[in-house]
Every structure is written in structure tokens, then in C-alpha cells.
Amino acid sequence: MEAELKALASEAKAALGSARDMEAVEAARVMYLGRKGKLTAVLSRLGDVPSADRPRVGRLGNEIKHSLTAMIGAAQDRIKDENLAAEIARARIDVTLPGFGPVAGHVHPITQTLDGMVAVFEGLGFRVEQGPDVETDYNNFEALNIGKDHPARDMQATFFVNDDVVLRTHTSPVQIRAMKRYQPPIRVICPGRVYRCDSDLSHSPMFHQLEGFMVDKDVNFGHLKGVLMAFIHAFFGTEVGARFRPSYFPFTEPSAEVDIQCVMCGGQGCPVCKRSGWLEILGSGMIHPQVLKNVGYDPEQVTGFAFGMGVERIAMLKFKIDSIRAFFENDLRFLKQF
């Protein structure tokens, strides 16, 4: 049995020496030291050895077991070192290769569009005012002639913080805040984020608006039309036609929606404009006398107009983008185009 144990030890040593991966080492461990392994099978016959030789043979078996255990650990360490060396060689950086600088960032298309819109209106004499995203119900609705039970509230699916506080559904509350702060004459635009419970290819729960208004003596609808036509021609080109359609908004009277000739088909009719040749871009009108009263203005002394438009919609038309979601997915393939 001593000869058999020594032969088994030599066989195991050769198997572990030739192992080139962890799987081979594990297979050798199971073969020689496993519960049903070769060493276990040999030692199970220790009772057949003469009693005088049994201690010496048992001691040899234990020595071989400890030796094989150490050899298995050494083989595992050797393979780990070989794998690490191979990985280092594979991942080595060639410092002689030419370097490359960081990729330059791009201004987001929404920011580009908003900056361009603001620049046009600033050129027309409007100044920029900002307001909070979390607004009182009064400024967001009631001061704009939209009472608690007004059906127009259903036009704007609102995020309520509580009964008296909302995430603003439009930038019009900034109009209220500005008119309370300044006396006429006043010309202001109010760009910013707004929030509504709405999400599809053309709507997002968070989007951007630009509100504008002007209040002075003898302001009329002709002034409104002149300002908006100047914006349309500056932003979309002088060849783009526009039309005003009667509409309804609680805070303006009379009210109008403004369409431009479809930028996709040039007004010829296509699926984007539903074959009409026109695309709606904004709402507008003369500020309702009650809104003027709510901010402390005398509607007998001053009049004003207001307009509001979605920045994402303007950007979609300007850049010919068919889904509003593209602006918020942060796909670099999309953003790098701008």
C-alpha cells in the first residue's frame, strides 16, 4: 500500500502541474481528495494492513493528503498569477500612440431654441422675468380669471402639492407677479419650466414655455399681431405665412391662436399638418380687464396683450423633430446633431 500511495502522489502532482485553468485544478482535487477520490479509496483499505505497519502507512497517507492540499493551493495561485499577467499584457497601454482630448459638449436643442426666442423678444424691447416653479393656486389660476370651479381648469391637468399650492401649469403666474411689481408701461417675457399630467409623443409632464405680455395706454390687437409676426419672421423666415384664428382663453378677450405655414411641406399639406398646410404654434389675446383689476391696474386707463408658446413645439418645428421624447432621453446620437 505504501507503493500505491507514493504512485498516487506522483500521479496527482503531475496532473496539478499540467493544469492550465481553475476547472482543471478543481477536477484534480475531486479526483484525488474528493469524498469518492482515489486517496480516500486507498485509505479506506487501511484496515487490511498488518497492525505493525498500520501507523506508518496511515502517517504516510496523511502526509500525502496535506501535500496534495498544499499543491492544489499552489496551482490555484499559479493560475491566478498567469491570468493576471495575461490580462495586464492584453490591457497594456501603448504610450507612444497619439492622444485624444475630451469630447466637447453641445448646447441642448431646447436651450438653443429658448435662447433664440429670448433674443428676438429682447430685440423688440421685452425684458426677461423669472418666477418659481412651485406656485400658489391663486397666481396660477384665480388671478388669471380661472376660479376654483372654472371648467378651464380641466384644460390643464395639474400637479397639486396641496389645495393651495401647485406645480405651475404655465408661465402666466410670472405675468401676475410682474404686473404686481411694476407699473405700466411694461413689456416682459417669462421663459421657464411648466408641469402637467400629460405624456405622449407630443406632450411631456415637464416642458418649457415662453410667456410674453405688454401693458400700456392704447395697446391694441394690432400691436399684438405686429409683435408676433416679427417673431415668426425672425425665427422661421420671412417667407413663412401666418394666420390668426379666434379662440378662447379665460385670461384674454378677445383671444386668438396663431398658425404658421407647415415647415415640413411649405403649406402644401402633409401628414404632420394633417393635410391642412398649417401648424398651430401659440395662443394669444388682449389681457382680460378682470386680470388687470386683479393686479391693481385700471382697465379704463391701460390695456395689454399676452401670448404664450411651448418651447419644445417651436424646437420640433424648427429642427423637424417628430417626438418630444427625444429632448429628454439624453441620447448622444440625437444631441450631437445640434
**DSSP 8-class letter at 144:** G
Residue 160 phi, psi dihedral angles, 5° rounding = -95, 130
What is the second-level CATH architecture of the domain 109-335? 2-Layer Sandwich (3.30)
pTM for the predicted model, two decimal places: 0.66
The order of strands in the sheet holding 127-128 is 127-128, 186-195, 206-216, 303-310, 278-287, 252-261, 242-249
> Which neighbouring-strand residues pair with 206?
195
Per-residue pLDDT of the chain (338 residues; tens, 9 = 90+): 777 777 878 887 888 888 888 888 888 888 878 888 887 777 777 777 777 877 777 787 778 888 888 888 888 888 898 888 888 888 777 778 788 888 777 889 999 999 999 999 999 999 999 999 999 999 999 999 988 887 767 766 788 898 889 999 999 999 999 999 999 999 999 999 999 887 665 567 888 999 999 999 999 999 999 999 999 999 988 888 999 999 999 999 999 999 998 887 877 888 878 888 898 999 999 999 999 999 999 999 999 999 999 998 899 888 888 778 888 888 888 888 88
Cell matching residue 262: 407647415
Question: Taking the domains of the chain in order of start, what are their residue ranges?
Answer: 2-90, 109-335
CA distances from 146 to 142, 192, 256, 294 (A): 5, 21, 18, 12
